[in-house]
Structure 1
Amino acid sequence: MAVTRYRRFLRLCEEWPLDQSKGGRDLGAFLRQRVALAFREGESTQIADPEKCDQMYDSLARINSAYYKNKYPRLRNTCFTGVTVEECRMVLATDNMKQMEEMKKGMWKKLREKFAGKSENVTKEYV
């Protein structure tokens, strides 16, 4: 039975899309890592709780197939703020999040970081 579970999870990982804009924070990449950890021995892996494993697979398969999106269709593709899906994707991209973190820094922190780098270079030159 472990063989069929392993193959089902592999098929799910192949079907699950990867979002390259979310480097290190993508659900598809996380899923692949967790499957690799859970099935370290491949097809010969012994599963401690087969029922829980099957439930987990079924839940992930429903998410991947957009089961609930189709079951409960939305009237509009926006949220309460009026932001569209594409705008949300753009905001959640890793590059944009780094820029937002940079904007959040206060003036003193920016100056301190700027001069901290220079003072390290100056002390290295004199040593």
Structure 2
Amino acid sequence: MAALHYHCFLKLCEEWPVDKTKRGRDLGTYLQKRVAQAFWEGENTQVAEPEACNQMYQSLAQLHLNYYKHKYHCPRDTSFSGLSMKEYKLILSIGTLEEFQEMDKSVWQKLQEKFTPMRPEEKHKAWAWVLS
């Protein structure tokens, strides 16, 4: 039975798209990591709660197949903000988020980063120099 669960989750992970613009924040990548943790023994992993495992698989499969998108069809491809899906993908990409974080930094933080040594041993020397 555990082998069946394992193969179902593996198939789902293979089919789930991975968005390269969201390194480390993508649902497909997260799903792959969680399946690897849960089935760390592969087919030999013992599933403690098979019903909960089945329910989790069914829920993820419905999300993957856009079950709710088709069941509750929305006539427009926008949201409350009026932005399209393409615009949301651009905003949520890693590059844009890094630009926003850079804009939010104060002048003092930017100066600190510019003059802060990169290696840990240099940090100790810099603090010793400042304190002396």
Shift of residue 112, structure 1, vs aligned partner: 3.0
Give unpaired runs (5+ residues) of structure 2. Answer: 127-132
2:36 aligns with 36
The percent of aligned pairs where both chains have the same amino acid is 50
My pick for the range that moved more, 22-31 or 104-113, is 104-113
- 1:18-57 residue pairs with structure 2 within 5 A? 18-57=18-57
2:9 aligns with 9
How many residues are aligned here?
A: 122
Structure 1 position 111 matched with structure 2 position 76:
no
Shift of residue 3, structure 1, vs aligned partner: 1.1
2:73 aligns with 73
Give the TM-score normalised by the residue count of structure 1: 0.89
CA deviation string 1:41-87 (max 9, x = no partner): 11111000000000000000000000000001112111111111010
CA RMSD of aligned residues (A): 1.9
Q: Following the alignment from structure 1 to structure 2, what is the Cα–Cα distance between the partners of residues 95 and 28?
A: 19
